[in-house]
Amino acid sequence: MTERKIIHIDMDAFYASVEQRDHPELRGKPIAVGHAEERGVVAAASYEARRYGVRSAMSSQKAKRLCPSLIFVHGRMEVYKEVSRQIHDIFHEYTDLIEPISLDEAFLDVTENKPGIALAVDIAKEIKQKIRERLHLVASAGVSYNKFLAKIASDYRKPDGLCTIHPDQALEFIARLPIESFWGVGPVTAKRMHALGIHNGQQLRACSQEYLTREFGKAGILYYQFARGIDNRLVEAVRIRKSIGCERTLEKDISNRASVIIELYHVAVELVHRLENKDFRGNTLTLKIKFHDFRQITRSLTQNRELTTLDTILPLAKQLLKEVDYAEHPIRLIGLSVSNPHEEEDRRGVWEQLWLEFKD
């Protein structure tokens, strides 16, 4: 079997870099894409801002405390989408096996590529160069024999990075990798890993599959495989829309039940509108709550019927809300999504992010 050649391309500080490209007066300055008001959140931060500790999803108030000279710029999603399309035009010069992860990130399978270039790293170099020359933006690239390692490689030398992980280097590379760098290991899982004495890839590899499955469920199988450099997932050129969601960041934190129900109603109405526009049908409803301290939880319910109307969604949303203790923990954000669609043939080929919000 031919060894696969996978490239992961990740645009560096994408939204912020587009703004600095289009507005020369912002170049070299710390900027944040987002809103500066009291309830605002940073959608993206330039590398100049990141040096102060400013990060995406951070409250605007905290960002300004960390970087008093921070310049806020309103996002232009239509512009970012158009630039993303231009980036994908470059990808298609090499392969049509492209799996978008977000507007600024994608996997490419170049095992068989249009120019017939032997080395994937040479393709990655050309893509980075064309993005720089044509779009005046900077990308990082990772090259390896599977998606997990290509993703890790692209993060390894950012910004403007290029890293290749060869098969004969993979196990040694993974052994030194901090557990936080593993795909699917967020802050909560990392904390659990640390409590179990797992801090890096070598310690993860020492764990049996049975142990990891017992501790982390199905994800434990992935962790077991990743620790051994195994990832059999294919680059999927066609993505099926898995869910549709929407959310509201409230003007002020609330804990009064009546106020929460009113906000939940507004989110449910918006969700129904988006479901109608996309002709999307699913039977799992998920409630997302972010508290005043930015702690976040989700609660889900699956039904044996499609959730497409306010009459079916709002009662379930209220039922999920009953599981949330917000009397002593005021709510900052409320979100709802519908997922678990029936994968009908005529609905294939459409992809959409779960939560419709800025990410970088």
| Active site positions, annotated | 105
Question: Which strands, in side-by-side order, build the sheet including 105-109?
Answer: 98-102, 105-109, 6-11, 139-144, 162-164
Contact 60, 42 (CB under 8 A): yes
Determine the 3-state secondary structure of 219 from DSSP. Answer: helix
Q: What is the dihedral of CA 210, 216, 221, 226, to 10 degrees?
A: -120
Cα–Cα separations (whole angstroms), residue 214 to 33, 101, 211, 221, 321? 42, 29, 5, 10, 29
10 known ligand binder: yes
The gap from C-alpha 56 to its chain's centroid, in whole angstroms, comes to: 11
Is there a contact between 151 and 183 (Cβ–Cβ < 8 Å)?
Answer: yes
* 104 annotated as belonging to a binding site for a ligand: yes
CB 92 within 8 A of CB 98: yes
Residue among 312, 284, 314, 313 nearest 299 (CA): 284
Closest to 223 measured CA to CA, from 148, 147, 163, 146: 148
How many C-beta neighbours within 10 Å does residue 96 have? Answer: 11
Using CA atoms, how far apart are residues 231 and 223, in angstroms rounded to an integer?
10
SS3 17: helix
Question: Which contacts qualify for 204-207: CB closer than 8 Å, 24 or more apart?
Answer: 204/179, 205/174, 205/175
Q: Which residue has the tokens 């549709």?
A: 244
Beta bridge partners of 191: none
- Contact between 115 and 91 under an 8 Å Cβ cutoff? The reply is no
For 334, other C-beta atoms within 10 Å of its C-beta total: 24
User: Strands 31-34, 71-73: parallel, antiparallel or unpaired by DSSP?
Assistant: parallel
Annotation: binding site = 10, 104
Annotation: binding site for Mg(2+) = 10, 104
